Amino acid sequence: MTDPAEAVGYTLAANLRAARQARGWRLDELAGRSGVSRNMLQQIETCRTNPSIATLARISATLGIPIGRLVEPPEELGHVARGDDAPTRPGGRESVFRLLINDTTAPFTELWEARLAAHDEVSADAHPTGTRELLHVHEGTVTVEVGGATFTVGPGDALRMRGDRPHVYRNARAEPVRLTMTVVYAGVPDPRYREAGAAASRGTVAW
């Protein structure tokens, strides 16, 4: 198993080097600006030492980026969207749709989690032309209406559908439905849904 401290050290080394080079700074220049010795900076970038919080604070302030950014994997490699921060879209009475995460690079994709309350339904306007939706039901049975067609999707079932038509998710039964959806856009993403992390600041997303 990889040592967590070692993994953070490698991430810090890569992020510090990338941030410094992006500004066109040599080690000597970053040392002069931050007050951290060139030798220390070199050891950090070659993953030969674990700097103190005070040292990291001086480096991050000089670079103008939060300390957290220095020790987290670069966004182009991956990004964790915390479940507690997921923006939600209330639907019907007690139904809730949560935007778990989305990809801000083409093809733009969103991952949703939904709970559809008993005897409830949620209507959605059409997404941009060419949008597709993939839906997987974990519990309960949902009826989906799209473009005049009706599909019944039970536990363990999955549905591929057009997302660029007005559609309705309906639960006609006494037990709730729990499902996940992946929305894939053919061109530009739906402007109603901002990047998941940004939308979380409001706690809700438009529908």
Q: Where are the domains of the chain?
A: 4-71, 88-200
Mean predicted confidence (pLDDT) in 162-166: 94
pTM listed for this prediction: 0.58
Q: Give the pLDDT band (50/70/90) at residue 11.
A: confident
What is residue 195's predicted lDDT score, i.e. its pLDDT? 47
Find out if CATH 1.10.3720.10 is the number for domain 4-71: no
What does the pLDDT look like over 53-112, one tens digit per residue?
A: 999 999 999 999 889 888 887 665 566 666 566 666 656 667 888 888 887 777 889 999
Cβ atoms of 196 and 172 closer than 8 Å: no
- Do 4-71 and 88-200 share a fold? no
pLDDT over 50 at 31, yes or no? yes
Mean predicted confidence (pLDDT) in 173-200: 76
Q: To 5 degrees, how large is the angle CA 90–CA 91–CA 95?
A: 90
C-alpha–C-alpha distance, residues 23 and 127, integer Å? 40
C-alpha–C-alpha distance, residues 207 and 198, integer Å? 16
Cβ atoms of 178 and 138 closer than 8 Å: yes
Question: Which one of 2.40.50.140, 3.40.50.920, 2.60.120.10, 2.40.440.10 gives the CATH number of domain 88-200?
Answer: 2.60.120.10
What does the pLDDT look like over 117-145, one tens digit per residue?
A: 999 999 999 999 999 999 999 999 999 99
C-alpha–C-alpha distance, residues 132 and 129, integer Å? 9
Mean predicted confidence (pLDDT) in 29-37: 96
What is residue 82's predicted lDDT score, i.e. its pLDDT? 64
